[in-house]
């Protein structure tokens, strides 16, 4: 197997597994730079703080593989958080949670209707919804922060702060959601249809797949993930600003792209999105541990995304640079 180490093979390997290689290198690098990096408490802390972002990224993975974008998840998460906190005091947590899920799913259904059935461009629709939902949240809250009155007397904090056998609840919920959605995407007929619709929507239609329905469902899944993230966010501090999710849509998208999902649709997996989420989380944590300013992470994150995108296209054309696209 003399050909095993040819240039094409190396480029191909990097393009396929580059994300894992990069992840390993970062872990090794930060471990050498700071011995607290691999400390179990630190690791658990990173995963825990990545869980909210991660849940949103799971849903957005479906949307991206189906060939669309969802930039509304950040402001939708603010909406869910504010709504559930407000309803907590009005109708009690047991009713507040399903009510909040219902309202968030309604927003997802609306976006899914516009993008799936009316076939409007998802960038325009969700960028508009980013702003519209923010307005909706502010209207709902009257612009004020939302707090639970009796913070000591509620079990609601279990979602944000609870632990089961020593593992924080946010991590458990993230893991559970990732497992369910990962299997749904990889193993069910619906998952197959998501790939087909994103890979070639016309061919999917010609195969009898009801494309609008698939896209609609992807946005519902995204909204469900956002609602779950909002629940955890609300349970974490039992109070929240209106802008808690602001800017997260880009971080979520970054994690999904880092994981290797194609913005053209048709490619990506839940497992790789989880890796993307963890990379973002560990890099941000590592940069802090080695003493760099918090702001540096924005630049580093961007560089990593560019690298990921480059490797992605390099893998598709079999070389790092090509005169033809």
Listed ranges 69-77, 93-101, 146-154, 180-188: which one lies at the site for other proteins (CB under 8 A): 180-188
| 115/136 Cα distance (integer angstroms) | 20
Compare residues 166 and 208 and give the one whose CB is closer to other proteins.
208
Helix (H, G, I), strand (E, B) or coil at 311: helix
Q: In the structure encoding, which two tokens stand for residue 278, read together?
A: 């963890």
Compare residues 247 and 318 and give the one whose CB is closer to other proteins.
318
Q: How far is the CB of 304 from other proteins (least distance, A)?
A: 24
| 110/116 Cα distance (integer angstroms) | 10
Q: How far is the CB of 184 from other proteins (least distance, A)?
A: 8
Q: For residues 285-324, which are near other proteins according to CB under 8 A? A: 323-324
C-alpha distances in Å from residue 148, one per residue of 130, 231, 236, 250, 259: 26, 13, 12, 29, 37
Residues that contact other proteins, how many (by CB under 8 A): 25
Q: How far is the CB of 282 from other proteins (least distance, A)?
A: 30
Q: In the structure encoding, which two tokens stand for residue 22, read together?
A: 């990069």
Among 23, 156, 195, 219, binds other proteins (CB under 8 A): 195
Q: For residues 198-217, which are near other proteins according to CB under 8 A? A: 199-200, 202-210
Compare residues 13 and 140 and give the one whose CB is closer to other proteins.
13
| 81/292 Cα distance (integer angstroms) | 31
Compare residues 36 and 192 and give the one whose CB is closer to other proteins.
192
Cβ atoms of residues 305 and 257 within 8 Å? yes
Compare residues 151 and 187 and give the one whose CB is closer to other proteins.
187
Q: Is 187 in the site for other proteins (CB under 8 A)?
A: yes
Listed ranges 39-47, 166-174, 183-191, 241-249: which one lies at the site for other proteins (CB under 8 A): 183-191
Q: Give the DSSP letter string of 257-281.
A: HHTT--TTSS---HHHHHHHHHHHH
Return all residues near 107 (Cβ < 8 A) that are at least 6 apart: 72, 76, 79, 129, 133, 223
Dihedral, 58, 63, 65, 69 alpha carbons, nearest 10 = -110
Q: Is 193 in the site for other proteins (CB under 8 A)?
A: yes
| 141/152 Cα distance (integer angstroms) | 23
Q: How far is the CB of 68 from other proteins (least distance, A)?
A: 16
Compare residues 213 and 246 and give the one whose CB is closer to other proteins.
213
| 204/281 Cα distance (integer angstroms) | 36
Q: For residues 24-43, which are near other proteins according to CB under 8 A? A: none
User: Which residues are bridge partners to 146 per DSSP?
Assistant: 240
Q: Is 118 in the site for other proteins (CB under 8 A)?
A: no
Q: How far is the CB of 264 from other proteins (least distance, A)?
A: 9
Compare residues 128 and 199 and give the one whose CB is closer to other proteins.
199
Listed ranges 107-115, 138-146, 196-204, 231-239: which one lies at the site for other proteins (CB under 8 A): 196-204
| 254/304 Cα distance (integer angstroms) | 9
| 76/96 Cα distance (integer angstroms) | 17
Compare residues 84 and 209 and give the one whose CB is closer to other proteins.
209
Q: Is 151 in the site for other proteins (CB under 8 A)?
A: no
Query: Residues in the site for other proteins, rule: CB under 8 A?
Result: 3, 9, 183, 187-189, 192-193, 195-196, 199-200, 202-210, 266-267, 323-324
């Amino acid at each position: 197997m003399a050909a095993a180490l040819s240039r094409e093979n190396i480029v191909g390997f990097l393009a396929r597994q580059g994300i894992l290689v990069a992840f390993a290198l970062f872990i090794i690098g930060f471990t050498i730079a700071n011995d607290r990096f691999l400390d179990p408490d630190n690791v658990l802390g990173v995963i825990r703080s990545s869980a909210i972002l991660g849940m949103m990224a799971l849903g957005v993975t479906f949307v991206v593989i189906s060939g669309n974008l969802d930039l509304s998840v950040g402001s939708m998460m603010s909406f869910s958080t504010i709504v559930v906190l407000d309803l907590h005091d009005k109708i009690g947590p047991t009713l507040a949670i399903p009510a909040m899920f219902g309202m968030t799913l309604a927003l997802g259904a609306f976006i899914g209707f516009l993008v799936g059935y009316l076939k409007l461009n998802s960038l325009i629709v969700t960028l508009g919804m980013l702003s519209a939902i923010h307005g909706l949240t502010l209207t709902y809250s009257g612009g004020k922060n939302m707090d639970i009155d009796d913070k000591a007397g509620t079990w609601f904090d279990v979602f944000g702060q609870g632990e089961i056998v020593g593992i924080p609840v946010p991590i458990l919920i993230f893991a559970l959601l990732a497992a369910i959605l990962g299997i749904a995407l990889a193993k069910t007929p619906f998952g197959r249809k998501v790939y087909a619709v994103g890979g070639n929507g016309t061919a999917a239609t010609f195969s009898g797949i009801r494309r609008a329905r698939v896209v609609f469902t992807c946005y519902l899944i995204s909204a469900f993930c956002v609602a779950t993230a909002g629940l955890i966010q609300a349970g974490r501090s039992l109070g929240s600003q209106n802008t808690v999710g602001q800017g997260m849509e880009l971080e979520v998208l970054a994690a999904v792209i880092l994981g290797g999902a194609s913005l053209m649709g048709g490619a990506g997996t839940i497992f790789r999105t989880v890796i993307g989420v963890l990379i973002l989380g560990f890099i941000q944590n590592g940069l802090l541990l080695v003493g760099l300013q918090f702001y540096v992470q924005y630049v580093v994150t961007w560089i990593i995304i560019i690298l990921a995108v480059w490797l992605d296209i390099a893998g598709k054309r079999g070389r790092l640079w090509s005169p033809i696209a």
